[in-house]
Structure 1
Amino acid sequence: FNRNENFLTRMFTLEYSYWFDYLLPGLETLRMPIPLGGTSNHFRTDRLRELQGWDPFNVTEDADLGIRASQHGYTVGVINSTTYEEANCAVKNWIRQRSRWIKGYMQTWLVHNRHPLRSLRKLGLKNWLAYQFFIGGSFFTFLTSPIMWLLFFYWLLTRAHWLQNIFPSWLVYLGLFNLLVGNAIGIYLNLVAVFRRGYYDLAFYALLNPIYWQLHSMAAYMALWQLFTKPFYWEKTIHGLSKFTHAKVQEAAHKAA
Structure 2
Amino acid sequence: MGGWDAYNVTEDADLGFRLARFGYRSTTFASTTFEEAPARFGGWLRQRSRWMKGWMQTWSVHMRQPRRLWKEAGAKGFLTLNTIIGGNVLTALTFPVLVIDMALRSLEGAGSEFCAGTVTPLHLTTIAAGFVSTIVVGLMGLARRGQLRQGWILALTPIYWACLSIAAWRALYQLLSEPYRWEKTEHGLSPQIRSAAASRTPERDEETCDAVFRPQSALKY
Bin for the TM-score computed over the shorter chain: 0.7 to 0.9
Mean Cα deviation higher: 118-127 or 218-227:
118-127
> Does 2:99 align with 1:149?
yes
Q: Pairwise mapping of residues 75-224 of structure 1 onto structure 2 (< 5 A)? A: 75-159=25-109, 169-224=117-172
Which whole-Å CA distance do the structure 1 matches of 2:109 and 2:137 have between them?
Answer: 32
Aligned residue number for residue 234 of structure 1: 182
Structure 2 counterpart of 1:106, one-letter code:
M
Identity over aligned residues, as a percent? 41
How far off its partner does 1:52 sit?
4.0
Structure 2 counterpart of 1:123, one-letter code:
A
Structure 2 counterpart of 1:179, one-letter code:
I
Which whole-Å CA distance do the structure 1 matches of 2:30 and 2:195 have between them?
Answer: 22
Cα distance change on mapping 1:147 and 1:110 into 2, 3 Å: same
Contact preservation (8 Å) 1:96, 1:219? yes
Which whole-Å CA distance do the structure 1 matches of 2:140 and 2:154 have between them?
Answer: 9
Unaligned runs of 5+ in 1: 1-50, 249-257
Which whole-Å CA distance do the structure 1 matches of 2:102 and 2:132 have between them?
Answer: 16
Which whole-Å CA distance do the structure 2 matches of 1:137 and 1:53 have between them?
Answer: 26
Q: Deviations over 1:177-216 (max 9, x none)?
A: 1122222222222222211111112211112111111111
DSSP 3-state at the match of 2:188: coil
Structure 1 counterpart of 2:64, one-letter code:
R
Cα distance change on mapping 1:171 and 1:62 into 2, 3 Å: same
Q: Which has the larger radius of gyration?
A: 2
Unaligned runs of 5+ in 2: 197-221
Contact preservation (8 Å) 1:54, 1:62? no
Aligned residue number for residue 62 of structure 1: 12
Which whole-Å CA distance do the structure 1 matches of 2:186 and 2:126 have between them?
Answer: 36
Cα RMSD of the aligned pairs, angstroms, is 2.2
DSSP 3-state at the match of 2:119: helix
Aligned residue number for residue 18 of structure 1: none
Contact preservation (8 Å) 1:105, 1:136? yes
When the two structures are aligned, how many residues end up with a matched partner?
A: 194
Structure 1 counterpart of 2:132, one-letter code:
A
How far off its partner does 1:235 sit?
0.8
Which whole-Å CA distance do the structure 1 matches of 2:130 and 2:24 have between them?
Answer: 32
Contact preservation (8 Å) 1:109, 1:136? yes
Which whole-Å CA distance do the structure 2 matches of 1:92 and 1:83 have between them?
Answer: 23
Contact preservation (8 Å) 2:188, 2:194? no
Cα distance change on mapping 1:169 and 1:154 into 2, 3 Å: closer
Contact preservation (8 Å) 1:188, 1:206? no
DSSP 3-state at the match of 1:245: helix
